[in-house]
Amino acid sequence: MKCRIRFRVGLMALTVAALWGQSHQKAAAQVPEENRKQVVEALGAPFIVFRDKVLDELKVSDDQREKLMQYVMEQIMETGPFLESLTETGQEREKKLNEHRKKALEKLAKHLKEVLQPDQLKRLRQVTLQQEGAFALGQEDVRKELKITQEQLKKFMAITQDLQRSVQPLIKEAQSGGNPEEIRPKIEQLRKDHARQLEAVLTDAQKTQWKELLGPSFELGD
């Protein structure tokens, strides 16, 4: 709920800017970093491209930055109302969220290919994989590159399902008014533990290739 409230505040800020007669470009340039962070939380790691540290890491030009900021503002204006309109719960809610994320990711990928250079796209993928961690091993493109076997994939799925079962009680606790500052570290520790289990499934050769896919270390600082 808190995430949705913060998202609404960001939308209000953008609306106020528009009412004051600012141009589309100027309003986009003022998209708060916090709102860009919330887009990542709502739609997935690839949207990390809009974070300031990532833009600096990619060495984007002023023109590229302007185009990206215009795009993220449009995405906020689209995703905010969508999240507010969700009335479903449980699996039905997750299904609608996943459908929205899928479409948003497809549109983002197309936009990035039009705006970024090949070397920037390559570095962005490395940064994105680092943020996703070992859970990215289940992605189709990563599986193909590492030649993940069906047996390994089954182990990945079992580990991921175990994480979901372990995290679910903590999520319910948070939804029931539990202290987020106490719950968040527990969830993060569970993710780290299961990420190590996922990496342990890889062969030595796959582990080496996985490190190459990740590229030079990048710290977002969050």
User: Is the distance from CB of 36 to CB of 51 less than 8 angstroms?
Assistant: yes
Domain coordinates in residue numbering, the chain: 2-116, 133-214
Percent of the chain with pLDDT over 90: 50
Can you read off the two tokens belonging to residue 105? Answer: 């990711």
pLDDT value of position 16: 34
User: Is the distance from CB of 80 to CB of 10 less than 8 angstroms?
Assistant: yes
pLDDT value of position 110: 96
pLDDT value of position 130: 94
User: Is the distance from CB of 66 to CB of 25 less than 8 angstroms?
Assistant: yes
| pLDDT top residue among 88 and 104 | 104
DSSP string, 191-209: HHHHHHHHHHTS-HHHHHH
pTM confidence score: 0.78
pLDDT value of position 209: 96
Write the burial class of residue 222 (CB in 10 Å: 0-12 exposed, 13-18 middle, 19+ buried): exposed
| pLDDT top residue among 69 and 4 | 69
The 10s digit of each residue's pLDDT in 133-184 is 998 998 899 999 999 999 999 999 999 999 989 988 888 887 788 888 888 8
Tell me, rounded to whole angstroms, the distance of Cα 51 from its chain centroid: 11
Span of 75-84, 110-119, 127-136, 211-220 with lowest mean pLDDT: 75-84
Q: How confident is the model at residue 218 (pLDDT cuts 50, 70, 90)?
A: very high
Distances (CA, A) of 86 to 2, 96, 127: 15, 8, 31
- The closest of 123, 7, 114, 117 to 70, measured between CA atoms, is 114
Q: How confident is the model at residue 5 (pLDDT cuts 50, 70, 90)?
A: very low
Write the burial class of residue 167 (CB in 10 Å: 0-12 exposed, 13-18 middle, 19+ buried): middle
pLDDT value of position 222: 66
